Amino acid sequence: MKFSIIIPAHNESARIGACLASIAAAAAAYPGHVEVIVVLNRCTDATDAIAVQHGALIVHDDRRNLAMIRNTGARHARGDMLVTIDADSIMSHNMLSEIDRALSTGRYIGGGVPIVPERFSAGIILSGLLILSLLPWGMSAGLFWCYRRDFEAIGGFNEQWRIAEDVDFAKRLKAHGRMQHKRFGTLWRTRITTSCRKFDHFGDWFLMVRPRILWRALHGIDDGLGDTMFYDFKH
């Protein structure tokens, strides 16, 4: 197996079909070499049925911790390359071929991709710029890609982090790459389009008027914020 794509999902029936369809389009160049693993988390809707219809492998993890949920998916992976994406995002059709190209050069440890919101507003644009300004230089997120061996070498996602576990993962993957003289890359010819449901719910300016939320999130230390933003969030 070449690729394992891991998707955590908590009541994602409204979104996951589009995510899985985008993966199928990207996987067309690799018939029989792409598996999709959907990690169901406390789902009470039709997420599991939709995932099965798209041929995904279903596993379960009901813990309120995205790092644990993602790691559960990775433990079931058979692919040489791991890709993580959220159920409310869709990948560009060239995503897997670009990941394959980058990793096959031997110059990259892995990396992220550009993120495009499904809609734009002044508040969303400024929030995006604020988030970028707080991330370490050269780091991207949204969708992560790397060899499974490197994922395992750094211990996967840090299960002590209940929020912003992806930022912590990127930092550690980048540091692991430096030791091997490899780069953490951004696949600029790809993108994911992700939902704006947090902005729809909290308001387009909520990060700008409450910037401390970002500081708390990026330090992964606030259980209450994790509950509000993810584990108790009503889709």
- Tens digit of each residue's pLDDT (9 = 90 or more) over 168-208: 999 999 999 999 999 999 999 999 999 999 999 889 998 88
Residue 81: phi and psi, rounded to 5, are: -115, 135
Q: How many domains does the chain have?
A: 1
Q: Name the residue range of residue 88's domain.
A: 3-121+138-196
Q: Is pLDDT at 54 greater than 70 in this prediction?
A: yes
Contact 159, 74 (CB under 8 A): no
Instruction: Tell me the pTM.
Output: 0.93
50 inside domain? yes
Q: Is residue 202 part of a domain?
A: no
The verdict on residue 110 lying in a domain is yes
Tokens coding 227: 């509950």
pLDDT of residue 221: 61
Does residue 41 form part of some domain?
Answer: yes
Distance CA 212, CA 137 (A): 20
115: domain CATH number is: 3.90.550.10
Q: Work out the average pLDDT over 59-84.
A: 97
With respect to residue 157, please indicate whether it lies within any of the assigned structural domains: yes
| Look-up of token digits 């598996």 | 35
Q: At what angle do helices 66-75 and 165-179 cross, to 10 degrees?
A: 50
